[in-house]
């Protein structure tokens, strides 16, 4: 059963995730707000981020196993390949391939908006790396 199929999942959406998105969007320029749409058994958050100089079109997918499985975030704007970029321009945010115990993602503490903020941080690091060749945060590896 997925996030959209179970009562527990729907309750989390209504009481935790949607209010977090609404708080993020409040007072924000319309071009930088999160929009949400459903695709099959997942929710897709679409948004733009501008951590430094460039604007990036982003997408965070909440799979049917969310929140137990972390969100997947992709950058739709073409990027130069770097060591922290996975296939399909998916960001390495949660130590992909890690166990649930060793992952940075904690479904008890984080909402989908945390994934958006993590993407902003990743993109800020990307812009520094692009200019200097050095990834500025070793813990982001």
Question: In the CATH scheme, what is the homologous superfamily, with its name and number, of domain 7-140?
Answer: Ubiquitin Conjugating Enzyme (3.10.110.10)
Token pair 């996030």 is at which residue? 3
Q: How far apart are CA 136 and CA 134, in angstroms?
A: 6
Q: What is the pLDDT of residue 141?
A: 40
For the chain, the domains span 7-140
Q: Are strands 42-49 and 56-62 parallel, antiparallel or unpaired?
A: antiparallel
Query: DSSP state, 67?
Result: T
Q: How far apart are CA 38 and CA 50, in angstroms?
A: 25
Q: How far apart are CA 111 and CA 5, in angstroms?
A: 18
Q: Is the pTM here over 0.85, yes or no? A: yes
Q: Give me the tens of pLDDT residue by residue for the chain, a chain 141 residues long.
A: 566 677 887 788 888 889 999 999 999 999 999 999 999 888 999 999 999 999 999 999 998 888 888 899 999 999 999 978 889 999 988 765 555 555 678 888 889 999 999 999 999 999 999 999 999 876 544
């Amino acid at each position: 059963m997925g996030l959209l199929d179970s009562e527990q999942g729907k309750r989390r959406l209504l009481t935790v995730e949607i209010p977090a998105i609404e708080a993020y969007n409040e007072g924000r320029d319309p071009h930088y707000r999160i929009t949400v749409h459903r695709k099959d058994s997942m929710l897709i958050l679409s948004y733009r981020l501008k951590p430094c100089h460039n604007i990036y079109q982003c997408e965070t997918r909440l799979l049917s196993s969310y929140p137990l499985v972390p969100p997947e975030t992709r950058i739709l704007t073409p990027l130069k390949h770097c060591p922290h970029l996975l296939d399909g321009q998916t960001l390495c945010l949660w130590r992909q391939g890690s166990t649930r115990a060793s992952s940075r993602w904690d479904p008890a503490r984080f909402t989908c908006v945390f994934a958006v903020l993590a993407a902003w941080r990743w993109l800020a690091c990307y812009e520094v790396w692009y200019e200097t060749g050095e990834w500025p945060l070793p813990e982001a590896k």
